[in-house]
Structure 1
Amino acid sequence: MELKRRNKVSAEFSMSSMTDIIFLLLIFFMITSSAISQSAIEVKLPQSAAGDPNVQDPTSVSITEDGKYFVNDKEIAKENLENYLVNELKGVQNPTFTIRADENTKHKDVIFAMGIAETHKFNLAIATTEQE
């Protein structure tokens, strides 16, 4: 006697739950990505007062392509640069200097001057020109 099974196992896979999950993930990523980009756009930068009398011209460190250092147009040997800057900025309320490096200057020369600023907690600015 042959018995027939009444419950057949279906080999089909229902994709409806998978599409729901993918749809929810898509909505989640769309919402989070737009929220991130909006917050970056809404940053308001502070404005500076033009002609503030308390601001003094910072000391300028120029670095030529061949690695020569100049402080306020006076040539200084690399070995003496740190001592010269410390003496130059001693007693200044906000010690600051600007690095003016030639576009072909080696990175190690610029990093050397930046290291001096980091060691002595000097404020630092790097001069650039506007692109045309």
Structure 2
Amino acid sequence: MALKRNRRFHAEVATSSLSDIMFFLLLFFLIISTLANPNVIKMTLPKTQQNDKTNKQHITLSVSEEKQYYVDKQNVAFNELEAALLTKMGDAKDQTVIVRIPYNLQVQDLVDLLQIGVKNNLKFVIATDKK
């Protein structure tokens, strides 16, 4: 009596844990990418008690202590600042311009920047550090 076995060995790879790992990696990188802001120039900001965060689309306008103006890390002269902001805005007028100005600059420098926003009906927010 000859018995034939139809069972053959099939190699299998358990992939259920791989999908879990990929999901956690995806979440990790999504969270980290929202926290990192590459369009930032290091400077000491004014201090405030309350510090709100914006999650909207924004344009960063930075002013150095030497009164160098940067629109999203691109150096711009003050007389070309208005045109550069309007070009960056494009058709999306709901974007916010975040003004990053050092605490030791004069108030008149800040007012000059804010007048550009009032003239062109732009939303300006002043960046601060928490105390």
TM-score normalized with structure 2 length: 0.55
Question: Are the counterparts in 1 of residues 93 and 122 from structure 2 also a CA contact under 8 Å?
Answer: no
Q: Which structure is richer in relative contact order (CA contacts within 8 A, separation 6 or more)? A: 2
Gaps of 5+ in 2: 1-52
Residue 123 of structure 1 corresponds to 123
Deviating above 4 A after TM superposition, structure 1's stretches of 4 or more consecutive aligned residues are none
Aligned to 1:95: 95
Shift of 1:95: 3.2
Q: Which has the larger radius of gyration?
A: 1
> Aligned partners of 2:66 and 2:76: how far apart in 1?
14
Q: Relative to 1, partners in 2 of residues 1:76 and 1:94: Cα closer, same or farther, differing over 3 Å? A: same
Q: Which residue of 2 is the match for residue 3 of structure 1?
A: none
Matches within 5 A, 1:1-132: 55-56=56-57, 58-131=58-131
Query: SS of the residue aligned with 1:114?
Result: helix
Distance 2:121 2:92 in 1: 12
Distance 2:121 2:66 in 1: 27
User: In the TM superposition, what is the alpha-carbon distance from 1:111 to its structure 2 partner?
Assistant: 1.1
Please give the per-residue CA displacement for 1:51-97, whole angstroms capped at 9, x wherever unaligned: 7xxx32x1010011121111111110001001110111121140320
